[in-house]
Structure 1
Amino acid sequence: MGCCHSGLESKEAVSRCKARRRYMRQLSEGRRAFAAAHSLYLHFLRSTGAVLLQFADSEAHLQKDSPSPAPPPRARPLPPSPPPQPPPERTRGEKEKRLSLLRRQEANGVEYLKIEKNKRDIERLESKLMVYCQAIESTSSEIIRLRESELFPQLLDLVNGLMCMWRSMYECHQVQTHIVQQLQYLNNPSSTIPTSDLHRETTLQLEAEVERWHSSFCRLVTSQRDYINAVTGWLRLSPFQYHHNPLDKTYRNPEVYALCEEWHLAVDRVPDKVASEGIKSFLTVIHAVVVQQAEEQKQKKISESVFKELEKRSKELRSCYGDHSSRSPVMEKKAKVDALKTRAEEERIKHQKSCGITRAMTLNNLQTGFPNVFQAMTGFASICVQAFGSVCNRQVSLNRVVGLDRRLT
């Protein structure tokens, strides 16, 4: 029974060790991804703001080559992992084989020297296992010390930093929402001013930046969930006390574990889909303007082509008036020129109408798209501030309770 129980404990320990290693890999990858996602989100948010300003002022002939924000810094690489060590499970398995062999030797009456040699090998393996156990206990104690003295304060600072970041985002998006709401007071005159090349290029750039903004926002939310899942999963399996005392074995640190559990719940409660759909809807609005501008440009090329043909035919007609040999070609050319004049006027009217549609669509779409996206981001930032603030406040309250308990004991 004792051997069976020991074997089950050994298998459970191996399974937990493998799960911890898997979470450690996920934690390392998640940390880098979370940091990179934050940096990219801020980068593309700034880029989108810069292009929005250029889009609004494009008709004032801003320079095309405006300075772009500096690329986000790369995450600092982690130090190389230590070389792999022979696992104690292999030594423990070899010891079990030696013990089984010793029992068979004693049962079969094998000669004394072979039995003594096998016993010495078993003692050597037991000494090696003792060294392994001491190393594991020392490593576990160091993990506990690092978790309590470094990991917990850093995670608490990170949550507090996230709360401050989203509070700043909330204040900025609130101001942006107030500004874009003033668009509803703009009238919609029947303007037929054609779209300039600068405006069309700026609109294409705005579409690309908003698409990157949407992608970086989704990556930010996903990476944060992956990171906190890895941290919480590792903490569930990490050795809180490496002793064989059942009371110590079930001990849970009330600070770091409670912090990560609250953080995990807060992240799951944040309605990121609303904000993501808000950015995506704004992207759809910008794309519709891009399509209409392309249609206007197409109509402009058709109109210019017809006018060039008209100018060419008119020049040929004027040259024919000096030739009195035949009146028939002149009449035919004049009929073609008159037809081209009619078509050119029709194409000019179509182009003017297309310009009017572009102007009206741009204003109408922005009057609806701008407020929606900034209202969605303001709501998302507000909920993030409340969620992370609640985590920090609960942690402060828990620290007070834990400090009181420690003083009483």
Structure 2
Amino acid sequence: MAPPQPARVGDVLRRLDDHFLRASESAHEVSKMLEAARMHYHSNFAATRGFVDHSARVMQVITWNRSFKGIPQPENVKNELDDDEWETHATVLDKLLAWEKKLCHEVKEFEVIKMTYQRKLAVLNKKKQRGASSSSVEKTKAVVKINRLRDKQLYPKLLELVKGMWHMWDIMYAHHKAQLRIILELKSSDDPVTARETSEQHHERTVQLWTIVQEWHNQFGNFMTYQKNYVGSLYSWIKLNVIPIDTNLKPNSSQPHEATPPIKRLLHAWHDILEKLPDESTKKAIFTFAEVVKTILVHQEEELELRIKIEETRREHERRRRQFDDWARKNWDKGAGMNNPDGSLAAPVMERKAAVEKLEQGLKNLEETYRGKCRVVRDKSLNLLRTNLPELFRVVSDFSLQSAGMFKGLWSIAHTNDQLDE
């Protein structure tokens, strides 16, 4: 049986790239959930369900304040707002924001009325049967609507996002683990390194790789920061949201306090797992690899500069050679003495010829140096990849595994709590 062929560097890099592309596809569903595709009109995975005008939907909620002024409420508004057919994560948040603004408006307006007519209201309250004020009704209606959006729309969207993140990281782990196996094959291979020179295209691809790895480092950091900020902001809002807002309640009021909603437990657990993920070590590993690619670029640039110097020297040698040949031919045609009586070349001829030969020898030395440089660049580049890529894929695969496990656990906890609440 023939021994297995050593892994070729080009084939290995193509396989690694293929896994990167397939891993990136795992984020498409999460991007759809977050409407990230809407930011890019040319996105291949943009939803085809049509554009959702968030602003118009939010303004429909805001204009519900007409009812507070005694203006009839349009009949079609409620139905459209309650239609979940086109509802997305972003539209739910927009509506929650609108209702929070409405509630804030109602409270502020009520306080102005309360301060202006406090004494008159006291007199009126004594003369009429005690009942709920219109402002209280409006505040209650706003609170009910916010809680309904929170528990019936936002919470399911968050659960959907958790499940999507779990599946996304699970797929990414599989691909990063495969990449680790591939690069370990290259590390154990004794594939001889050829002294092939760095082409302009090769150098451009290395520059592109360096740029992409830098962007990977930046975007990974942004992803973790934005996720922590988003979950932290939602959790802070939830902690305030579940506190009764009716300041007219007496200290010993028998009104029941709202039980801890499932969304609060979910966000609390989500917030905790984000703090436990090793994102800083992952960022460091990606940054380190970016520096490795930069080192390879420096070696390539030194090689390219040497090649440019060779080309300049070769042109100069050809120019000097042509000048010497032209000068010798003209002097020979004129019958000028090119040789001494003993047959040796005359001094002027010797000087010009020596200058040309010196340039020719310098060109040969540069070419020899260049061939050695090509081998050094190939050796160093391959060794840097063999040494650093395994660590990179080991770190990112570990991070993906932990992320998948934590989101799976978060999903399980949420569903267990939901069953207990039923």
Question: Does 2:337 align with 1:361?
Answer: no
CA separation of 1:158 and 1:91: change in aligned 2, threshold 3 A: closer
Question: Does 2:120 align with 1:144?
Answer: no
Question: Does 2:54 align with 1:78?
Answer: yes
For residue 374 of structure 1, what is the aligned residue in structure 2?
Answer: 393
Q: Secondary structure at the match of 1:252?
A: coil
For residue 211 of structure 2, what is the aligned residue in structure 1?
Answer: 208
Question: Does 2:274 align with 1:267?
Answer: yes
After TM superposition, give the deviation of residue 239 of structure 1 in Å.
4.2
**384, 395, 398: which one pairs with 2:414?**
395
Amino acid at match of 1:146: L
CA separation of 1:219 and 1:118: change in aligned 2, threshold 3 A: closer
What is the alpha-carbon distance in structure 1 between the residues aligned to residue 193 and residue 107 of structure 2? 82
Q: How does 1:52-71 map to 2 (within 5 A)?
A: 70=43
Structure 1: gaps of 5 or more residues: 1-44, 51-68, 103-116, 404-409
In the alignment, is the contact (CA less than 8 A) between 2:107 and 2:139 conserved in 1? no
What is the alpha-carbon distance in structure 2 between the residues aligned to residue 118 and residue 179 of structure 1? 81
For residue 35 of structure 2, what is the aligned residue in structure 1?
Answer: none
For residue 289 of structure 1, what is the aligned residue in structure 2?
Answer: 296
1:345-397 Cα offsets, whole Å, 9 max, x none, are: 22112211221121011101110222121111100001101111121122222
Question: Does 2:161 align with 1:158?
Answer: yes
Amino acid at match of 1:331: M
Question: Does 2:319 align with 1:300?
Answer: no
CA separation of 1:123 and 1:88: change in aligned 2, threshold 3 A: farther
Q: Secondary structure at the match of 1:333?
A: helix
After TM superposition, give the deviation of residue 249 of structure 1 in Å.
5.8
After TM superposition, give the deviation of residue 246 of structure 1 in Å.
5.5
Structure 2: gaps of 5 or more residues: 1-15, 22-41, 64-100, 338-345
After TM superposition, give the deviation of residue 241 of structure 1 in Å.
6.1
For residue 223 of structure 1, what is the aligned residue in structure 2?
Answer: 226
What is the alpha-carbon distance in structure 1 between the residues aligned to residue 383 and residue 176 of structure 2? 21
Question: Does 2:292 align with 1:252?
Answer: no
What is the alpha-carbon distance in structure 1 between the residues aligned to residue 111 and residue 155 of structure 2? 35
In the alignment, is the contact (CA less than 8 A) between 1:48 and 1:210 conserved in 2? no
Question: Does 2:150 align with 1:174?
Answer: no
CA separation of 1:172 and 1:123: change in aligned 2, threshold 3 A: farther
CA separation of 1:310 and 1:233: change in aligned 2, threshold 3 A: same
Question: Does 2:191 align with 1:184?
Answer: no
After TM superposition, give the deviation of residue 190 of structure 1 in Å.
5.7
Amino acid at match of 1:262: A
1:120-153 Cα offsets, whole Å, 9 max, x none, are: 79999x99x9211101101111222222222221
Normalized per residue, which structure has more helix? Answer: 1
Q: Secondary structure at the match of 1:311?
A: helix
Q: Secondary structure at the match of 1:321?
A: helix
After TM superposition, give the deviation of residue 282 of structure 1 in Å.
1.0
For residue 32 of structure 1, what is the aligned residue in structure 2?
Answer: none
What is the alpha-carbon distance in structure 1 between the residues aligned to residue 19 and residue 297 of structure 2? 16
Q: Secondary structure at the match of 2:133?
A: helix
CA separation of 1:249 and 1:319: change in aligned 2, threshold 3 A: farther
Amino acid at match of 1:273: E
In the alignment, is the contact (CA less than 8 A) between 1:191 and 1:356 conserved in 2? yes
Amino acid at match of 2:133: M
What is the alpha-carbon distance in structure 2 between the residues aligned to residue 335 and residue 71 of structure 1? 66
Relative to the length of structure 2, the TM-score reads 0.68
Amino acid at match of 2:303: E
Relative to the length of structure 1, the TM-score reads 0.70
In the alignment, is the contact (CA less than 8 A) between 2:106 and 2:139 conserved in 1? no
What is the alpha-carbon distance in structure 2 between the residues aligned to residue 357 and residue 71 of structure 1? 42
What is the alpha-carbon distance in structure 2 between the residues aligned to residue 242 and residue 88 of structure 1? 10
Amino acid at match of 1:260: L
For residue 57 of structure 1, what is the aligned residue in structure 2?
Answer: none
In the alignment, is the contact (CA less than 8 A) between 2:180 and 2:393 conserved in 1? yes
In the alignment, is the contact (CA less than 8 A) between 1:320 and 1:330 conserved in 2? no
What is the alpha-carbon distance in structure 2 between the residues aligned to residue 288 and residue 256 of structure 1? 48
What is the alpha-carbon distance in structure 2 between the residues aligned to residue 239 and residue 201 of structure 1? 56
